[in-house]
């Protein structure tokens, strides 16, 4: 029996469905049943990811290709958004600081806001909208048109080839995109300050770097890996396990964005709690 | 692969010999309370074209998906090329799959890849490192065999239904499988293109001595390519025989497929 279950898991037949079915038979019908089944199958999916990610052969070429699609092709969107956020945040904050005679703190305030929270959170939300939905729709569409089955039949492990590579690339690319968005956001802030005041780039960035410490940079950077992982994983999970039919594609894309964005906030909340433990 | 259909039809019975490539004993498969396969017993010989007829929902596609390991069996014994499928581990299953080709109903072409990349994909995944020149020549040969040499740099979305089926067939044949599974190969195609696909199926049998299971609703196609026909009703084999036998069957349900 153990051998049968283990073999079933190894096969690329999306054994999650079988496991979920067995699990579903053990718990009574209730309003929470669907929720628990979803959590259960997502957990199985996540465990399978960790099992497959360490097991050779490694799909380096596909990881590079996906990193290019996920990372490079998101640069312009993330850059424009980052610039606008930096600019708007600076313009909106200035009148309040002027009231308290603290306008000279504007670069520091904006820098801390962008680096600690706004940069990672907004970039992750954009990432969930663009990349999460893209992964969800693409895999669901492949599922509907039997392309995933065709991969299995041709002797390829579709979970490794499609899911592991996308989740891995999303985990790696989001932190880099956040660094990029933060940098562009600070440039936007510099432009915003110079719309009303005259501040040199040297002075602006001196104040920015003086205001930022290890406690601001490190936790903010680390949490972006978790954001990327969650978005990639949920997008892949929704797409890979989508219902057949075109409706399934739409649902997969939609729920990839909704749950991906929700996970960003949940992870952010946990990260803030953990960070504050060390800071206090 | 340019011989005409009728000449191949005369020749293709000669390919069969008695060695069994697929053996099914008491196969059962259910999805919840829906019992799809009931006690299927079947043998397929080397070089044989076996056509499975049956109404939609009688378990034909489930049967061939069980053969290739896409769906696990509930009960029964399935032996492919001498190996019991339910006893194989992951690696062994992949090795068996290399010997089985599967033409999906929708052809299941990879949308994000070109025609060339669709054909290169199974080669790169399955073979040990192969020189680019070898892959190029195999791809060109496969495309020439199905008459798609000019479409090498096109995307699947630019191809017609018949071209997509032919490309799906080329992608499957590029690994020279010993067993071919066709899931409704002529569905949605015009009569001329259907005949072309049937002709290709016969040519595959003729040239590679492949054993094939063909699921179809196309009686003309069945008449042209079948060495043996099975009629499935409610997940069971209701009748078995040659086209002529079944056409004159005393069972009205079986005969109705041929009217």
Closest-CA residue to B155 (of B106, B112, B108)? B112
Strand-pairing partners, residue B22, are B44, B80
Kindly determine whether residue A10 and residue B94, on different chains, have CB atoms separated by under 8 Å: no
Q: Which residues contact A124 (CB under 8 A, 6 or more apart)?
A: A174, A178, A224, A227, A228, A231, A264
Is pLDDT at A241 greater than 80 in this prediction? yes
Tell me what pLDDT residue A83 has.
Answer: 97
DSSP assignment of B28-86 equals EEEETTEEEEEEEEEEEETT-EEEEEE-TTSSHHHHHHHHTTSS--SEEEEEETTEEGG
- Is residue A255 a contact partner of residue A151, using CB atoms and an 8 Å limit? no
pLDDT category, A55, cuts 50, 70, 90?
confident
Q: Does A145 touch chain B (CB under 8 A)?
A: yes
Closest-CA residue to B90 (of A13, A120, A195)? A13
Is pLDDT at B12 greater than 60 in this prediction? no
Is pLDDT at B9 greater than 70 in this prediction? no
Which of chain B's residues have a Cβ under 8 Å away from the Cβ of A7? 88-90
DSSP 3-state of B9: helix
Of the CA atoms within 13 Å of residue A265, those in its CB half-sphere come to 5
- Is residue A233 a contact partner of residue A46, using CB atoms and an 8 Å limit? yes
Chain A CA closest to residue B72: A8
- Is residue B25 a contact partner of residue B76, using CB atoms and an 8 Å limit? yes
**pLDDT, mean of residues A150-155:** 88
Tell me what pLDDT residue A28 has.
Answer: 63
pLDDT digits (tens, 9 = 90+) for B46-62: 999 999 998 888 889 89
Among the listed ranges A125-139, A199-213, A245-259, B189-203, which one has the minimum average pLDDT value? B189-203
- Is residue B258 a contact partner of residue B226, using CB atoms and an 8 Å limit? no
pLDDT digits (tens, 9 = 90+) for B137-154: 999 988 988 888 888 999
Tell me what pLDDT residue B11 has.
Answer: 45
CATH superfamily of B47-69+90-258: P-loop containing nucleotide triphosphate hydrolases (3.40.50.300)
Angle at A122 between CA A117 and CA A126, to 5 degrees: 155
**In whole numbers, what is the pLDDT of chain B averaged over residues?**
85
ipTM: 0.83
Query: Among residues of chain B, what percentage have pLDDT more than 70?
Result: 92
Kindly determine whether residue A153 and residue B97, on different chains, have CB atoms separated by under 8 Å: yes
pLDDT category, A97, cuts 50, 70, 90?
very high
pLDDT digits (tens, 9 = 90+) for A156-204: 889 999 999 999 999 999 999 999 999 999 999 999 999 988 899 999 9
Is pLDDT at B176 greater than 90 in this prediction? no
Closest-CA residue to B52 (of B233, B199, B178)? B233
Strand-pairing partners, residue B180, are B101, B212
Is pLDDT at A65 greater than 80 in this prediction? yes
Strand-pairing partners, residue B240, are B230
Mutate to test the interface with B, among A18, A154, A159, A162 (most CBs of B within 10 A): A154
Is pLDDT at A8 greater than 50 in this prediction? no
- Nearest CB neighbour to B102, from listed A4, A141, A153: A153
Of residues B152 and B250, the one with the higher pLDDT is B152
Kindly determine whether residue A147 and residue B111, on different chains, have CB atoms separated by under 8 Å: yes
Q: Does A194 touch chain B (CB under 8 A)?
A: no
pLDDT category, A20, cuts 50, 70, 90?
low
- Is residue B152 a contact partner of residue B139, using CB atoms and an 8 Å limit? yes
Is pLDDT at B17 greater than 90 in this prediction? no
Bond before A9 cis per omega within 30 degrees: no
Tell me what pLDDT residue B5 has.
Answer: 40
Angle at B243 between CA B237 and CA B248, to 5 degrees: 90
Locate the domains of chain B by residue range: 47-69+90-258
Q: Count Cβ atoms below 10 Å from residue B253 Cβ, excluding itself.
A: 12
Of residues B145 and A109, the one with the higher pLDDT is A109
Among the listed ranges A108-117, A166-175, B171-180, which one has the minimum average pLDDT value? B171-180
Q: Which residues contact A121 (CB under 8 A, 6 or more apart)?
A: A264, A265, A268
**pLDDT, mean of residues B94-114:** 89
Is pLDDT at A244 greater than 90 in this prediction? no
Chain A CA closest to residue B64: A153
Spatial distance between the Cα atoms of A66 and B134, rounded to a whole number of angstroms: 27
Is pLDDT at B229 greater than 50 in this prediction? yes
Of residues B127 and A248, the one with the higher pLDDT is A248
Most confident of A261-275, B162-176, B217-231: A261-275
- Is residue B162 a contact partner of residue B199, using CB atoms and an 8 Å limit? no
Spatial distance between the Cα atoms of B170 and A249, rounded to a whole number of angstroms: 28
* Interface contacts (A, B; CB < 8 Å): 62
Is pLDDT at B23 greater than 60 in this prediction? yes
Torsion (CA) B108, B112, B116, B120 in degrees, nearest 10: -70
Is pLDDT at B6 greater than 50 in this prediction? no
- Nearest CB neighbour to A154, from listed B111, B112, B122: B122
First to last CA, chain B: 32
**In whole numbers, what is the pLDDT of chain A averaged over residues?**
89
Spatial distance between the Cα atoms of B84 and B64, rounded to a whole number of angstroms: 15
- Is residue B211 a contact partner of residue B44, using CB atoms and an 8 Å limit? yes
Is pLDDT at B85 greater than 90 in this prediction? no
| Phi-psi group of A151: left, alpha or beta (phi > 0 → left; psi -120 to 50 → alpha; rest → beta) | alpha
Kindly determine whether residue A7 and residue B89, on different chains, have CB atoms separated by under 8 Å: yes
Closest-CA residue to B204 (of B6, B24, B49)? B49
Is pLDDT at A76 greater than 70 in this prediction? yes
Minimal C-alpha gap between B228 and chain A (Å) = 25
């Amino acid at each position: 029996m153990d051998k049968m279950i283990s073999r079933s898991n190894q096969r690329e037949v999306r054994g999650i469905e079988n496991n979920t079915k067995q699990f579903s038979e053990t718990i009574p019908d209730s309003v929470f049943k669907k929720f628990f089944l979803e959590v259960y199958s997502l957990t199985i999916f996540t465990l399978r990811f960790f099992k497959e990610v360490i097991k050779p052969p490694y799909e380096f070429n596909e990881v590079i290709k996906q990193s290019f699609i996920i990372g490079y092709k998101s640069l312009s969107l993330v850059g424009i958004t980052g610039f606008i956020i930096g600019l708007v945040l600076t313009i909106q904050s200035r009148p309040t600081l002027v009231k308290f005679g603290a306008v000279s703190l504007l670069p520091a305030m904006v820098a801390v806001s962008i680096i600690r929270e706004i940069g990672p959170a907004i970039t992750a939300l954009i990432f969930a909208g663009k990349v999460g939905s893209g992964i969800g729709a693409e895999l669901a569409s492949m599922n509907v048109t039997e392309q995933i089955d065709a991969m299995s039949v041709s002797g390829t492990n579709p979970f490794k080839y499609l899911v592991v590579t996308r989740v891995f690339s999303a985990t790696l690319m989001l932190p880099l995109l956040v660094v990029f968005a933060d940098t562009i956001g600070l440039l936007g802030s510099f432009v915003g300050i110079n719309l009303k005041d005259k501040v040199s780039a040297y002075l602006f960035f001196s104040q920015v770097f003086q205001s930022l410490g290890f406690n601001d940079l490190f936790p903010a950077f680390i949490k972006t890996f978790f954001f990327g992982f969650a978005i990639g994983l949920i997008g892949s999970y929704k797409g890979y396990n989508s219902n057949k039919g075109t409706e399934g594609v739409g649902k997969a894309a939609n729920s990839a964005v909704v749950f991906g964005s929700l996970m960003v906030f949940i992870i952010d909340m946990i990260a803030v709690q953990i960070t504050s433990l060390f800071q206090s | 692969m340019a011989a005409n259909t009728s000449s191949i039809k005369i020749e293709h019975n000669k390919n069969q010999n008695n060695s069994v490539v697929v053996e099914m004993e008491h196969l059962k498969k259910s999805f919840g309370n829906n019992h799809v396969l009931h006690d299927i017993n079947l043998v397929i010989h080397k070089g044989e074209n076996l056509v499975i007829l049956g109404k939609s929902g009688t378990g034909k596609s489930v049967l061939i998906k069980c053969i290739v390991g896409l769906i696990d069996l509930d009960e029964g014994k399935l032996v492919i090329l001498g190996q019991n499928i339910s006893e194989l581990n992951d690696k062994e299953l992949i090795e068996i799959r290399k010997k089985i080709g599967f033409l999906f109903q929708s052809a299941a072409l990879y949308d994000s890849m070109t025609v060339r990349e669709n054909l290169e994909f199974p080669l790169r995944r399955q073979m040990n490192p192969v020189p680019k020149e070898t892959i190029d020549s195999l791809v060109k040969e496969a495309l020439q065999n199905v008459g798609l040499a000019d479409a090498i740099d096109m995307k699947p979305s630019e191809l017609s239904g018949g071209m997509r089926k032919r490309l799906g067939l080329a992608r499957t044949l590029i690994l020279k499988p010993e067993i071919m599974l066709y899931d409704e190969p002529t569905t949605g195609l015009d009569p001329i293109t259907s005949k072309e696909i049937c002709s290709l199926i016969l040519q595959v049998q003729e040239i590679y001595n492949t054993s094939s299971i063909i699921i179809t609703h196309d009686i003309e196609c069945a008449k042209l390519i079948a060495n043996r026909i099975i009629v499935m009703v409610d997940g069971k084999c209701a009748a078995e025989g040659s086209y002529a036998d079944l056409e004159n069957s005393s069972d009205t349900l079986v005969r109705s497929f041929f009217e």
